[in-house]
Structure 1
C-alpha cells in the first residue's frame, strides 16, 4: 500500500488507501463479539498497490469479529495465456488458493474467500457456459457466481475507467443469452452500476426471475461530476429507483461502497480520517432507504475494501454500520451482518 500523506488523486472513483493517514485515528470497536460476514472485498497486487491476504488479515485484526468473507471480481491474476474467454478462470484459481491459505488458520480466525465471485464475459452469449463450468471446477466448492460490471456514464468525471465500456449492456440480447446460463448452474449475478442504470437492472431482473441478483454498493449513487452539489435531487431519483427494483424478489442489496469518491464526500481530503459517527451520518440516508426497501433478509453490510479504505479504516467502517443498525432488532442485525450473506452465497460457516 502507498503510504503517501498527500490526498489521493481525484481522477478515479475511489481514493488510494494511505496507511499513515488512517493510523492517525482509531476508536473502540462497538459490539466486538457480533459475528460478521464481509460479503464484498477484493485482493490485488498491481500498479504499486498491494492488498492481499496479509493486508486483509491485518484489517480484520483491528477488532471486529469477522468470521468469513466473500471475494469479488477485480481482474486479479487472470491467466496470461490461453483463450481470452477463459483467462478469468485464473482469478478463481487465485481466490481459491487464498481461501486454502486462510483455511489453514495461519492468517486470521476468519475464513477469507469462503465464497468467490469472479467474472465471465456474458457477451459470449451461450458460449459463456463452458467458461462458467471451468470456474465452478476451479473454485473447488467455493465459486458462487459472477460479476460483469455494467457501470457506464457519458461523462468521464463520473465514469472514470468505465467510460469506454458498452452503454446499456444489461439490455443487450447477446448479454442476456449469457446471463441465461447462470441460473441453471446455480450461480448468482453481482451487479455493479451507477444509479441512473438501476432501471436497466430492474428490467433484467424481471426478465430472469429465477436468477439471484445482488445489487452492489447501494446501487452506485453518484455525487460527482454533473451530480455534484445536487445531493437532494439525486437522492430522490436514486431512492425511486431503489424502491422499484426492491419489488423484484430475486434482487438483494449490499450496503456499502459509500466510502468511494463516487458519492461525493471529501473524507479522503481532510487532515484526519472520519470517525464512525461522521461516516454513519453521511451514509445513513442511503443505507436506511435500502434496508426499508429490501428488508434485512435481502440486505447485507459490506466493506468493499480496499476501495473504501481510501476514506476510512476497517475498524471505522463496521463501527459506522453498527451505529446505523442500532435501531434494529437482534434478529435483523444478525441478518444484516451475517445471515443474509451466508444464505445468498451459500457459505459454509461454523
Structure 2
C-alpha cells in the first residue's frame, strides 16, 4: 500500500502556542473567516472541535468558509465524483454548527470544494452534484494549482502539474462556474501571477479569488531575496488589481513558503511582531484592490504551526487600525459575505445587551 503524502506544513505545537496567548483587540468587530480547512490525516487532525477551540479566542468570529483540502473524498465510485464526499462531510459539520448547540459560530457557512476543471464541459455533472450535496452553502471551486519546479517549493501534499491554469481544458471547465453561481479560488505563487492574470482576463464573468496574497516565495532559490521578490510581486499584483473580477485573501504568510521563521523561536510571535512583518504585503493589497475586494483569512490550521488563531486576528487588527469603520467592516466580514453570498446579517454588529440606566424618581 502506498504511503500517505508527506505534509509540507509546519507542525502544530499546542504547548508552544499556549505560551503566547493574547487578549483580543476590538473584540466586538464582526469577523467572517473566509479560508480554513478540516482534515484527518496521519498524525495531523483538524476537525470541528479544533476549529471551535481556535475560534473561541475572544474575537467575534461569526462564520467561516471551508476550502477544499482533499478531506473525506469518497473511497470509490467514479473518480470525478469522489470530491463530492468532501462537500457532504463539510455540510454535515455546517449543520452541526447551525444547530446552535456549540455557540453562535456558523462554521462552514460557505463551502469551496474540488472538481477537476480539466474535464472541461464534462465537469458540469460534478458541479451539480456538489450543489445538490450542499445547496445552501456550496459556493465555489478550487483546484490544486500552486506549482514551482524547485522541489523545495511545495505547499500541497500532492504536487500539481505545471501550467494547469493555462490549460485550455481547465479554462473551459472554469467557464462553467459562473453559470452555476460559483466562484474560483486560486492558490498560486508569485511566479504564476501572469497565469492568474491571463485566466481572469479570459473569463471576465468569473469571480476569481486569489488566495494568500499571491504567494510571495521566501524559500529555496528566493531565500534572502525578500526585497527583490516584493518588487516583482507588487508589480504583478498591480496588474491584477486592474481586473474587476479579482478578489484577494489577506493571509497565508504563516506557511514555510513565506520564509518567515517565527516558529523557530522559544515563544510564539506576538501580534505586533506579525503585523510589522505582514504590513507591507497587506497594505499593498488594500491600496491596490481596495477594502471591498480584500478579505482577511486565517488559513488554519496550515498557518497554526507559526502562530495562534487569536494572535493572527490581533495582527490583522493592528494593520487595519487606521482604516475607517466601513473599510474594517469590509476587510473583516463584508467582502467575504458578498463574495461567497453569505447571509448579510453575519456582518452586522450584535445588539447591545445593556439596558438604559434606571431613572431617579421625580420629586
TM-score by length of 1: 0.95
Mark the structure with the bigger radius of gyration: 2
- Residues 12, 261 of structure 1: 8 Å contact kept: no
Q: CA deviation at 1:159?
A: 2.5
CA distance in 1 between partners of 2:281 and 2:299 (Å): 16
CA 128–117 in structure 1, closer or farther in 2 if over 3 Å, else same = same
CA distance in 2 between partners of 1:342 and 1:190 (Å): 15
- Choose the corresponding residue for 2:122, options 111, 119, 127: 127
CA 88–12 in structure 1, closer or farther in 2 if over 3 Å, else same = closer
- Choose the corresponding residue for 1:114, options 109, 113, 129: 109
Q: Which residue of 2 aligns with 1:8?
A: none
CA distance in 2 between partners of 1:144 and 1:209 (Å): 18
- Residues 146, 155 of structure 2: 8 Å contact kept: no
Report the 3-state secondary structure (helix = DSSP H, G, I; strand = E; otherwise coil) of the residue aligned with 1:211.
coil
Q: Deviations over 1:133-176 (max 9, x none)?
A: 00011013100010012111110111354784211111111111
- Choose the corresponding residue for 1:307, options 302, 306, 328: 302
- Residues 256, 301 of structure 1: 8 Å contact kept: yes
Is 1:158 the equivalent of 2:124?
A: no
Q: Which residue of 2 aligns with 1:6?
A: none
1:1-350 residue pairs with structure 2 within 5 A?
13-159=8-154, 161=156, 164-350=159-345
Structure 1 vs Structure 2 CA RMSD: 1.2
CA distance in 1 between partners of 2:73 and 2:115 (Å): 11
Q: Bigger shift: 160-169 or 286-295?
A: 160-169
CA distance in 2 between partners of 1:266 and 1:214 (Å): 27
CA distance in 2 between partners of 1:74 and 1:160 (Å): 11
Report the 3-state secondary structure (helix = DSSP H, G, I; strand = E; otherwise coil) of the residue aligned with 1:335.
helix
CA 151–114 in structure 1, closer or farther in 2 if over 3 Å, else same = same
CA 108–156 in structure 1, closer or farther in 2 if over 3 Å, else same = farther
CA distance in 2 between partners of 1:139 and 1:222 (Å): 35
Report the 3-state secondary structure (helix = DSSP H, G, I; strand = E; otherwise coil) of the residue aligned with 1:68.
strand
CA distance in 2 between partners of 1:224 and 1:334 (Å): 34
TM-score by length of 2: 0.92
Report the 3-state secondary structure (helix = DSSP H, G, I; strand = E; otherwise coil) of the residue aligned with 1:15.
coil
- Residues 185, 209 of structure 2: 8 Å contact kept: yes
Q: Which residue of 2 aligns with 1:7?
A: none
Q: CA deviation at 1:111?
A: 0.2
- Residues 151, 162 of structure 1: 8 Å contact kept: no
- Residues 7, 157 of structure 2: 8 Å contact kept: no
**Unpaired stretches in structure 1, ≥5 consecutive residues:** 1-10
Report the 3-state secondary structure (helix = DSSP H, G, I; strand = E; otherwise coil) of the residue aligned with 1:67.
strand
Q: Bigger shift: 55-64 or 154-163?
A: 154-163
Report the 3-state secondary structure (helix = DSSP H, G, I; strand = E; otherwise coil) of the residue aligned with 1:145.
strand
- Residues 57, 108 of structure 1: 8 Å contact kept: no
**Unpaired stretches in structure 2, ≥5 consecutive residues:** 1-5, 346-363
CA 89–333 in structure 1, closer or farther in 2 if over 3 Å, else same = same
